[in-house]
Amino acid sequence: MDDKLVTMSPAQKKAQRSRNIAIGVALAVLVVLFYVATIVKFGPSILDRPL
Amino acid sequence: MAVVENIGREEIRLSEATAGDYFALLKPRVMSLVVFTAIVGLVAAPGTMNPFIAIIAIVAIAVGAGASGALNMWYDADIDNVMSRTSKRPVPLGRVLPGEALAFGLVLSALSVLTLGVLVNWLSASLLAFTIFFYAVIYTMWLKRSTPQNIVIGGAAGAIPPVIGWAAATGTVSLESVILFLVIFLWTPPHFWALALFKAGDYGRAGVPMMPNVAGELSTRRQMFFYALILAPLAVLPAVLGYVSWGYGIAAVALGAGFVWKTWAVLAMSSDDKVMKPAKQLFAYSIVYLFAIFAIYLVDVVAWRLMATIGA
């Protein structure tokens, strides 16, 4: 299998890292966005449920 | 995870595209104008809106505008490659493959429209969806390469953001937001044709039928002046109709007079003027004009609202 592995050049590694960080940040922002929007939309009634 | 076998080594392509290349696909400079005019539409609208939902609306509109930019760069890579202004874009440079730009644009289009619909309202979401469709399909795929009226009709896509902002805040489309739409719509031809005048060689090489290449420079300059003559008074209309104060009105009159003056200078340009300084000046001024009109509109609305709050 080893001979099938592709070695990345430093430029490719750097670019991949940059893309990884951007994708990570974008997905995290999306989570926060929907999480907070849920709270905002429900308002105080978010706690108003049978426990 | 699936194990993919039999991949020929030559088919493996390791991308060197950075996050910055993908960000460039969103046309950040166009996006800044979209964001700004959408904010004005959203803030100027009556009623109160949860600030967090307002931020989501603006982000979704920005991402939707960026997505249409990415779709434009996917489709127009051939044209962009031969034009000096656009040859450094990620797709013509080969840093991002056309298919990657397409996927990026499509995913962000769907995501921005659905987010706006679910978290804000469906009127603004449908307007955003229409705008992306209009810019990517009607303008980029169809009009841009087929008619010199390309940027006139296509300008509607760039003019909608304040209407989307207003719709996000109120769930309606009103005359106030339609006037803001018309300001950008009528501003686009003189703005873009000023650029097309001194970049005519570029557009000619790319085979894009811009007005100066098709109808000639003199006809283009006349049409620009015509649009400036309608734009200047129209931008004063919000004050006439009482949507904003005459503070805005006076500023709009002054800015509009400047716009007509600069367009007149372009009209008066001699036909053998190759430097085209007046056209370059008009292009620069037109950007200042639009930002100023919307900024003053925003300040006026916010100032009166603050005064009403303090007075009450």
pLDDT tens-digit series, residues B5-42 = 555 555 567 888 999 999 999 999 999 999 999 999 99
- Looking at the structure, do residues B122 and B29 belong to the same domain, yes or no? yes
Residues B196, B115 share a domain: no
pLDDT, position A2: 55
B16/A34 Cβ within 8 A:
no
Same domain, B155 and B184: no
Of B16, B50, B52, the CB nearest to A11: B16
Within an 8 Å CB–CB cutoff, is residue A32 touching chain B?
A: no
B119 CA to chain A: closest CA distance, Å? 7
Which CATH number covers residue B79? Answer: 1.10.357.140
Question: Is any Cβ of chain B less than 8 angstroms from the Cβ of A28?
Answer: no
Q: Do residue B59 and residue A33 have CB atoms under 8 angstroms apart?
A: yes
Q: How far is CA A43 from CA A36, B25, B47, B68, in A?
A: 10, 37, 19, 34
Last residue of a domain, one of B116, B140, B172: B172
Chain B residues inside the 8 Å CB shell of A22:
19, 22-23
Question: Is the domain of B179 the same as that of B309?
Answer: yes
CB-CB neighbors (< 8 A) of A8 in chain B: 14
Complex confidence, ipTM:
0.84
- Per-residue pLDDT at B138: 97
B207 and B150, same structural domain? no
A35 vs B contacts (CB less than 8 Å): none
Are both B150 and B179 inside the same structural domain? no
What was the pLDDT predicted at B6? Answer: 54
CB B166 within 8 A of CB B176: yes
* pLDDT one-digit tens code per residue, B59-72: 999 999 999 999 99
Domain that holds residue B151: 1-172
Q: Which of B149, B172, B195 is the last residue of a domain?
A: B172
Residues B41 and B148 placed together within one structural domain of the fold: yes
Distance from the A35 Cα atom to the nearest Cα atom in chain B, whole angstroms: 11
Please check whether residues B162 and B185 belong to one and the same domain: no
User: Which chain A residues touch B12 with a CB distance below 8 Å?
Assistant: 6
In terms of domains, do B165 and B182 share one? no
Q: Are residues B106 and B145 in the same domain?
A: yes
Look at A37 and B52 and tell me if their CB atoms are within 8 Å. Answer: yes
Domain boundary among B116, B147, B172: B172
A to B CB pairs, distance under 8 Å: 42
Could you give the CA distance from residue B226 to residue B190 in angstroms, rounded to a whole number?
9
Residue B132's pLDDT band, with cuts at 50, 70 and 90, is very high
> For the whole prediction, is pTM greater than 0.80?
yes
As a whole number, mean pLDDT of residues B270-295 equals: 93
Q: Do B70 and B212 belong together in one domain?
A: no
pLDDT at B89: 96
Number of structural domains, chain B?
A: 2
The pLDDT score that the predictor gives to residue B5 is 56
- Top-confidence residue, B281 or B276: B281
Q: Are residues B17 and B78 in the same domain?
A: yes
Mean pLDDT value across residues B88-112: 96
